[in-house]
Chains A and B, each alone.
Chain A
Amino acid sequence: MKNIGSKFLALLISIVIAAILVAGCGGSTKSTAEKRDYFKVGVITSLSGAEAYGGNVTRRGYELWAETVNKKGGIKLGEKSYQVKLIFADDQSDPNAGADAAQRMITSEKVDFILGPYTSGVTMAVAPILEKYKVPMITGSAESPLIWKQKFKYTFGTIPAVDLTGSQPLATLAKEVGSKPASIAILGVNDPFSKATAEAFKAAAEKEGIKVLKYDIVPAGTDFNPLISAIKGLNPDVLAVGGHEKEHMEIIKASKSLGFMPKVFLMHYGITTPDFIKNLGKNSDYVMGATTWTPDLNYKDAVFGSTKKYVEAAKIRYGSMPDYTEAACAATGQIFTAALAKIKAIPPLNEEQREKLVKALEEVKIDSTLYGPIKFATDGAWYHNNTGLKALTIQIMQGNQIIVGPKQVKLKDPVYPVPPMSSR
């Protein structure tokens, strides 16, 4: 009897697991009819795995755009408006899974265009698939310059590459504080984005004459304690880190527990996310970073009204302040809208129309979105990247991201050297 009981339990558990797995796959696999009167938009991003947090930041941006557009009736082309339907695919934070998701999106879901991944690694794996099937994609998040160097015809990006923005905080430190930092230690996590960030920091430090005492690229999931111990011995003025919010949190915690306090921490990306500030509390204060956008900016916007109104809408919808990646994702859909209006293509899009759409994306210039002006470069090393935005230096102050550079736009003076964590 006992044995039967446990077998039954095993069966029950496997059924539950199967049910959850099936539910988790989501999305409809119904083959679409030739005719439909809405746009089917694929979203490929990290909804599980190591970068699930950032992936959901991008999801929020795309989702809020679609919801807002639909509430207003949809994308207006000529006389008629078309609703937007987002189809989500989880890349599991894994480039291979991302490529598979792209394949499925295109061949079985037959999406019209794609809103792209959170990470640069996945973006680079998805891009070749899009070249093959000729489906355009704009990523509202990926920042690695390596994407644009490969000159993918069908891939575009809303946020300027990190080699255009990452140098700004060091320029601020070198030129706009009382006594310029003399030395820096740089850590980067080993993924295409974080590595590029570390490289950008290194290049900027060398340009500004700040001595690089240590430069190390480390695998994701490393225990930072030994590295921080070694850096503590070198006593740099600045510790700069290329990575995501989780690594930044762990580095701040490790530094505090080892009693290491440089004159300033410089970290990119993730210090602008609510999790970073919420989890670290006072310890997140004075961390410096780079961005292209803060909620304080005020641009006009065709969908939301303005940056301010967008920020309010996002806060109501998700309960936290959007950061620049979330904002860029929310603005990304508008570029497609503008390009679609230009070619007057109604759904579903065929290959010829998608070709025209790519051409239109290259030509479209939007002077103002909630995220700022958008215009994709059509040649050079940043091919198809929105390079026009100015990089800003930010510093966390009392839990808010404050623009502290460059001089012309700063809201407050940068704090340097910052007060040690133990005395806040």
Chain B
Amino acid sequence: MELIIQTLVNGLLIGGIFIMIAVGFTLAFGVMDIIDFAVGEWVMLGAFAAYWLQTLVHVDPLLFFPVIMLTFGAAAYVFQPVLQSVINIKHRSAALMALAFTFGLSTFFRGAALTLWGFNNRNIVTFLSDQSINILGITLPALRVAATVFAVIITIGFMVFLNKTKTGVAIRAAAENKTIAGLMGIDGQKVARTVYAIYAALTSLAGVFIGSIFSVNPDMGLRYTAFAFFVVVAGGMGSFAGAIAAAILLGLIASFVSVYVGGAYIFLILFLFLYFVLLFFSKGILGKGL
């Protein structure tokens, strides 16, 4: 019985980290029509940012996460027009152009990280690293709990932001229909830049947690790109709630399969699941996607 609860908890806690990636990824898709192939590399860069904060500035990177988020947000805000100009090229499919461009970007980031920082596996130590919470025989690693709590706070904060603020409403309007939103006086370009900045900030934060829980190296991003794709497709393209549900489901499936079926079958079962979702629920598990 304890093992079932522990497995459930493990799944929920890793799902929390996936939520952080999925929320921004889905939003970027909804507003900008881009499927960012470089999502994993934003995770990797976030993890490296945390590592360098720890190594060069000697501070606990987890306490300085706002600095990392702001830096990444600002960098993305500056960079977004470049991406936009690629998407806007006439007579080309925006989604395809973005996919090709971000694919190149991901290769570039990975190559640059390998060249600049080398091949070593690195470790981030935070004040939560060695801590865990024990409740009735269930062990909750503190870092993962913190990541999940953050994911929940961010998601709620985001919902409030999208529903209660002017910018939030503008983002939702742009996500719904760009042309009409433009006619209503919403600056589509500015909304897109804001969204891209939020997305990069969130993903870098996920990177800080992932780097602390696992390890940091230039190649760590790829698997999270795969997970992000899984979450967004299973959740229904562009569906916010669907992505959150899919992120949790992804964590739970991975956790239960590795305990009760065998580690060898994790990916087989995950992608079999995705296959059936696409076959029978083409709008995602909650039926809210495109």
Closest to B11 in A: A226
Given the known A-B contacts A20-B108, A222-B266, are A230 and B3 also in contact in the complex, defined by CB atoms under 8 Å?
yes
A residues near B118, Cβ cutoff 8 Å:
56
Q: Does A31 contact B (CB under 8 A)?
A: no
Q: Is the CB of A218 within 8 A of B120?
A: no
Instruction: Count A/B pairs, Cβ under 8 Å.
Output: 141
The digit string for B1-22, where 1 denotes a CB below 8 A from any CB of A, is 0110011001101100000000
CA distance A143 to B150 in the complex (A): 43
CA distance A180 to B85 in the complex (A): 67
The digit string for B246-287, where 1 denotes a CB below 8 A from any CB of A, is 000000001110110011101100000000000000000000
Q: Is the CB of A259 within 8 A of B134?
A: yes
Q: Is the CB of A52 within 8 A of B217?
A: yes
Q: Is the CB of B114 within 8 A of A275?
A: no
Q: Does B165 contact A (CB under 8 A)?
A: no
B residues near A257, Cβ cutoff 8 Å:
129-132, 139, 141-144
Given the known A-B contacts A56-B119, A280-B123, are A216 and B264 also in contact in the complex, defined by CB atoms under 8 Å?
yes
Q: Which of A104-112, A248-256, A377-385 contacts B (4 or more CB under 8 A)?
A: A248-256
Closest to B142 in A: A257
**Interface residue from A216, A223, A230, A280 paired with B14 (Cβ < 8 Å):** A223
Given the known A-B contacts A230-B7, A279-B215, are A7 and B85 also in contact in the complex, defined by CB atoms under 8 Å?
yes
The number of chain B residues with a CB under 8 A from chain A is: 54
CA distance A93 to B267 in the complex (A): 20
CA distance A49 to B217 in the complex (A): 10
Q: Is the CB of A219 within 8 A of B111?
A: no
Q: Is the CB of A223 within 8 A of B254?
A: yes
Q: Is the CB of B213 within 8 A of A53?
A: no
B residues near A14, Cβ cutoff 8 Å:
104
- Give the contacts of A252-288 with B (CB-CB under 8 A): 253-254, 256-259, 275, 279-280
CA distance A190 to B265 in the complex (A): 11
Closest to A258 in B: B139
CA distance A250 to B120 in the complex (A): 14
The number of chain A residues touching the other chain, given as a range, is 35 or more
Q: Does A217 contact B (CB under 8 A)?
A: yes
Q: Is the CB of B119 within 8 A of A20?
A: no
In the complex, how many angstroms separate the beta carbon of A271 from the nearest chain B beta carbon?
A: 13
In the complex, how many angstroms separate the beta carbon of A347 from the nearest chain B beta carbon?
A: 31
CA distance A55 to B218 in the complex (A): 14
Q: Is the CB of B141 within 8 A of A222?
A: no
CA distance A246 to B24 in the complex (A): 28
In the complex, how many angstroms separate the beta carbon of A330 from the nearest chain B beta carbon?
A: 18
Given the known A-B contacts A227-B258, A227-B263, A258-B139, are A48 and B215 also in contact in the complex, defined by CB atoms under 8 Å?
no
In the complex, how many angstroms separate the beta carbon of A287 from the nearest chain B beta carbon?
A: 15
CA distance A93 to B217 in the complex (A): 14
The digit string for B24-35, where 1 denotes a CB below 8 A from any CB of A, is 000000000000
Give the residue among B119, B130, B144 with the most A Cβ atoms within 10 A.
B119
- List 9 additional A-B contacts (Cβ < 8 Å) besides A253-B214, A258-B139, A259-B132: A2-B81, A48-B114, A49-B219, A52-B218, A53-B120, A219-B267, A233-B2, A246-B217, A279-B121
Show the binding face of A for B, using Cβ within 8 Å: 2-3, 5-7, 9-10, 13-14, 17, 20-21, 24, 47-50, 52-53, 55-56, 93, 187, 190, 216-219, 221-223, 225-227, 229-230, 233, 245-246, 249-250, 253-254, 256-259, 275, 279-280, 422
**Top 6 nearest A-B pairs by Cβ distance?**
A218-B263, A257-B141, A279-B123, A52-B119, A6-B81, A226-B255
